Structure 1
Amino acid sequence: MRHFHATHTVFGFGFTLRAVVFGLLLIYCLTPWASPPIALALGLALAQTLGNPFARQTKLATAKLLQYSVIGLGFGMNAHAAVQAGKTGIVFTVVSILGTLVLGYVAGRWLGLTRHVTHLISCGTAICGGSAIAAVGPVLRAKDEEMSVALGTVFVLNAIALFAFPPIGRALAMTQSQFGLWCAIAIHDTSSVVGAATAYGDQALQVATTVKLARALWIIPVSIVTALIFKQKGVKIKIPYFILGFVAAMLINTFVPAAKPVGPVLVGAAKIGLTVTLFFIGAGLSGKVLKTVGARPFVLGLLLWAVISTASLYVILHTV
């Protein structure tokens, strides 16, 4: 293993073998043979064995790449269908967000967790995973270790959901709309929502992306309420502006005929970007990150996820 970390020099250029492995895996993720679940699995395998040689760079690139990929997916969406999907998901969104936050508060006290860790994990589960935690954390003035625990918990459960949801959906013979709605409500991060829905079908992808991004807008009111409850003054609310880019792309695709030929190209590039994003996320889940989580925060995250997944699945199968 030490051999992979040693620096080798060829033609005056220094490199490590683990950097070469990283590069080969990244190139594979750019090909048509890669899929979001495979990319995540490759990243996880790299993180647990050789480690990520570009951890700082991939961490910085992940958020931007995800945002640009989501905007690109907008060029494959129809505004009329999105409005209909949004109407279907609004009730589920409101009920599930409020229910998750209340249950998280009660369960967090029962587990003896701090208010900050409890609130961060609850917001991540209720709204949109790492993005919600990244937005609410500064409002709470949360410590780095509290942020790490919450993010680690959510990312581990995201990885599980990305692999587990498509087989469950097929086993239950869920329709494309049902599965897309379930993904948007029950999976934390936008990246894993889109990844799971992509594996299920194009219609599921459209429903999942639309409902999830509408759900992500709840970051704003939840951040404001957080500042009031935790009595934090002078904090800056982080607004997910990239959602406006997604809406703009969707409107262009729907109402500008001249943009139609470009749409499939941009959507294809966005799907590749999403695959690479999930590879980066997997590569960031090192053993150190997993150890940071601890048992009780993970139990809270697992409990909230289990409740929202099963409850939303039952309601969707019987009402949609």
Structure 2
Amino acid sequence: MSVKSNILPGLVLAGVIAGVSQYLEELIVIGGQHPISGVILAILIGILIKNTVKVGDSFQPGIRFALQKVLKGAIILLGLSLSFTAVLKTGADALIIILICVTAAISLTFFIGKKMGLPDKLAALIGIGCAICGSTAICAAAPAIEAEDEDVTFSVATITLFGVVAIFLYPIIGKMLLLTDMQFGTWSGIAVHETAQVIAAGFAYSDEAGKIATVVKLTRTVLLAPLVLIFGIIYARQKQGSTTQKVNYLRIFPWFVLGFIALAIFRTYGDTIWMDSAQWTAFLAQGKTIAKFLIVVAMAGVGLLTNFEDMKRVGIKPFIVGLIASVIMAVFSIILVYALGI
């Protein structure tokens, strides 16, 4: 079976869910507004299908392709929505908050995990997953510290659970706090775990908040490679010079970030030349439409991979540590957003 035919069933399923979700978003109108984002609807429909009807193994490759590859393509296309100047400014403004929150989340999560009797490696993986980019960071860091498969499974399930909760909870909190798009985008980009979850929460709040959240999250994701290297060095020293399994840092580097930056530069350059051109305006609008649809397709993948049975197998202690880590990131980041006048 070819790769294309292998991914086709799951990819088509995610695409159909995305189409239905966007149709329902336009259909549901209250007070002249569309109160329910297609992003949220896609996740909910995906979760419903996964945990009731069930999804066969033949769909899994395509669903994972939607979540991993399609999402990266959508992020790259989002570069057309922002000028390079805006990308640099947003990332720079958020960097100090990111560094503080990442340091606090990893340190405090590891300390609390130790106090609650979690194995060191499990506590470390929950901390890095919460601080950087969820399961991607966990899977990247696991070889560097020679973590057990069970530690990876527990930490991924814990972080995934709270990330899914954040998708729905953060927009509600943001509205209650009357956060601006800039404030919410910065906050969710720093505090929510997975890239997909950040984008879902951001675009559920508003399109502008979604763009800002994406930039902030990409800035945070770039820290993954050096952080994994630091973890590997610390662990190697603890083993008194013995070697650890090598990590391919070129492989884990988020290269799609460069694609996003390239299109942002292209957008900036294009605005100086074709700003008054109807074709340029139409091109940007088309890019935005495609990017938004691809995001909804990826979010359908999030829902279709959310298995409540897997989450039930996580013990209470990792769950509590994950909750504390998530709250730390949420509280620290929103306080700093206010304190620094974002």
Q: Is the 8 A contact 1:157 1:302 kept in 2?
A: yes
Any idea what the Cα deviations from partners look like across 1:12-63, whole Å, max 9, x if unmatched?
A: xxxxxxxx98885354146473611111111111222111222343124421
Q: TM-score, normalised by structure 2?
A: 0.82
Query: Given that residues 146 and 245 in structure 2 are in contact (C-alpha distance below 8 angstroms), is that contact kept between their aligned partners in structure 1?
Result: no
Closer, same or farther in 2 for the Cα pair 1:287/1:164, shift >3 Å?
A: closer
| Aligned residue in 2 for 1:28 | 20
Of 145-154 and 214-223, the range deviating more from structure 2 = 145-154
Amino acid at match of 1:199: A
Per-residue CA deviation, residues 103-160 of structure 1 (Å, 9 max, x unaligned), is 1110110121122221111111101112212322233333333222222112111111
Residue of 184, 187, 205 corresponding to 1:200? 205
Does residue 254 of the first structure (1) align with residue 268 of the second (2)? yes
Separation in structure 2 between the aligned mates of residue 301 and residue 153 of structure 1, nearest angstrom: 6
Counterpart of 1:16 in structure 2 is none
Q: Give the partner amino acid of 1:294.
A: G
Which of 38, 42, 57 lines up with 2:62 in the alignment? Answer: 57
Displacement of 1:212 in angstroms is 1.0
Aligned to 1:103: 108
The Cα of 1:100 is off from its aligned counterpart by 0.8
* Range with greater deviation from structure 2 (248-257 or 25-34): 25-34
Whether 2:144 is the aligned partner of 1:139: answer yes
Count how many residue pairs are aligned between Structure 1 and Structure 2.
Answer: 303
For the 8 Å contact 2:67–2:196, the answer to whether it is kept is no
Q: Distance in 2 between matches of 1:169 and 1:24?
A: 30
Gaps of 5+ in 2: 1-11, 26-36, 237-243, 275-279
Question: Bigger shift: 289-298 or 157-166?
Answer: 289-298
Label 1:189 to 1:302 Cα distance change in 2 as closer, same or farther (>3 A): same
Q: 2:159–2:322: 8 Å Cα contact kept in structure 1?
A: yes
Contact 1:139–1:236 (8 Å) recurs in 2: no
Matching residue of 1:312: 333
Equivalent residue runs for 1:195-274 within 5 Å: 195-231=200-236, 232-237=244-249, 238-256=252-270, 257=273, 261-274=282-295
C-alpha separation in 2, matches of 1:49 and 1:168? 29
Counterparts in 2 of 1:57 and 1:88: CA distance versus 1, 3 Å? same
SS in 1 for 2:53: coil
Query: Which amino acid letter does the alignment assign opposite residue 109 of structure 2?
Result: G
Partner in structure 2 of residue 3 of structure 1: none
Aligned-partner SS, 2:118? coil
Amino acid at match of 2:316: A
* Comparing 246-255 and 27-36, the one that deviates more: 27-36
Relative to structure 1, the CA distance from residue 81 to residue 24 in structure 2 (aligned partners, 3 Å threshold; closer, same or farther) is closer
CA distance in structure 2 between the aligned counterparts of 1:306 and 1:30, rounded to whole angstroms = 31
Which amino acid is the alignment partner of residue 256 of structure 2? F
* Structure 1 equivalent of residue 180 of structure 2: 175
Runs of 4+ in structure 1 deviating by more than 6 angstroms, as ranges, are 20-23
Paired residues for 1:41-190 under 5 Å: 41-53=44-56, 54-190=59-195
Per-residue deviation at 1:199? 2.1
Give, in whole Å, the separation in 2 of the partners of 1:70 and 1:241: 11
**Root mean square deviation of aligned Cα:** 2.3
Residue 30 of structure 2 corresponds to which residue in structure 1?
none
2:83 and 2:217 map into 1 onto residues whose CA distance is 16
The answer for unaligned runs of 5 or more in structure 1 is 1-19
**CA-to-aligned-CA distance 1:210-242 (integer Å, 9 cap, x gap):** 111011000011011111112125332221111
* 1:240-262 deviation digits (Å, cap 9, x = unpaired): 11111111111111113466542
Separation in 1 of the partners of 2:284 and 2:138? 32
Normalised by the length of structure 1, the TM-score is: 0.87
Aligned equivalent of 2:305: 284
Moved more, 51-60 or 38-47: 51-60
**Partners of 2:281 and 2:220 in 1: CA distance:** 27
Structure 2 residue matching 1:25: 3-state secondary structure: helix
Q: Distance in 2 between matches of 1:242 and 1:141?
A: 27
- Other structure's SS at 1:240 match: coil
Which amino acid is the alignment partner of residue 81 of structure 1?
A
Instruction: Kindly provide the CA deviation profile for residues 77-105 of structure 1, in whole angstroms up to 9, marking residues without a partner as x.
Output: 11111211122101101111111111111
Q: Which amino acid aligns with 1:25?
A: I
Query: Is this contact kept in 2: 1:120–1:137, CA < 8 A?
Result: yes
From the superposition, tell whether residues 284 and 75 of structure 1 become closer, same or farther in structure 2 (CA, over 3 Å). same
